[in-house]
Amino acid sequence: MTGPGPLAGLRVLEVGHILAGPYATMLLADLGADVIKLEPPGGDLSRQVSDAYFASLNRGKRSVRLDLATPVGQERLHGLVRDADALLVNLKPSAIHRFGLTYEALKPWNERLVCVALTGWGMDAGDEPAFDYVVQAATGVAALTGDPNGPPALPGYSSVDNSAGLAAALGLLAQVVSGRGGQMEVCLRDVMLSQLNYHAAAWLNAGAVPRRLGGAHAYYVPAQLFPTAEGHLALFITHDGFWRSFATEAGIEGHGTMAERAAHREEVIAAVTKALAADTATGWESRLRPLGVAAAAVRTLPQALAEAPEMVVEAGGHRLVGSPFRSAAHQPSYGPPPGLGEHGDLV
């Protein structure tokens, strides 16, 4: 079903670059919000990466180019604020204050405005750079990632920026739903510490230092990647019923309880590794899934996209991954990414 999205009527201004902030507002645009991207004279830095990169974060928005460092730019900003519901800013704290992009600075023009500041370390923490990989290193994510006998590692995508974008979009909507204008802060560091929830709880409550387990789960065994006769298999077994189903299919005996498997991790992993060598990753996937056992052969992104064609959409001549939100009442209409200053140029 096509028609207005659930956020139709919501107008959001965006000031930011590259990924976290633009990703947050793109999700809102996919759901029907009117997103106006306020770009500096040179445009969002992501325009310099590639057209497809920019489109993947900015489809369906409008672009107004203005210089916030000038009186004319500030006057235009205040005019746009009067008719906006929210402003999401993804800049360093000093720039947010310098350009007057806080609720305190803008409430004379709109007391009901919701302002979200998306920063690296927090509005009071200074301007220290906080790029995705730096935050992964600083929060313990990198220390938990990789081979136990190797160096720390990073995933192959921007996990911090994307996670922070989701959190910022949620925070913005929560403040809008409250019916009150005000300031909301989201920082990359806090989002990642929040996502380390059970690891942090183990340390804070029991002094258990998180260990790098090569991608294996800290509590569930077996729950990790395994080599097979061809390819690798992700196997994730939690309760004992899943173990019984898997063990019967794989010909493994013993280790019947979750506690026993956790206490004898190395022995269990060795038994599972030996059993899985008897078939390919795709073979195990086809055998285990009908039994209700969570398993998947490791795929490349092209392979994954080929198996999920409904997630590939077209927006302004670009093929992109569509919105993750599905609703029987709304089918997103993906607009093109805007040209720089296409909807207003005040430079």
The set of residues, in sequence order, having a beta carbon less than 8 Å from that of 250 and lying 6+ positions away, is 272, 275, 276
* Tokens of residue 43, six digits: 């445009």
Quickly tell me which residue has 């001549």 as its tokens. 317
Residue 45, both tokens: 């830095």
Q: Is the separation of the CB atoms in 122 and 47 below 8 Å?
A: no
Bridge-based pairing state of the strands 318-321 and 86-90? unpaired
| Closest by CA position to 235, among listed 194, 285, 193, 277 | 285
With b for 16 or more beta-carbon neighbours within 10 A and e for fewer, the 194-222 pattern comes to ebbeebeebeeeeeeeeebbeebeeebbb
Active site residue 83: no
The residue from 127, 161, 190, 279 that is catalytic is 161
Name residue, tokens 């720039």. Answer: 95
* Calpha distance 252→215 (Å, rounded): 23
Residues catalogued as catalytic: 161
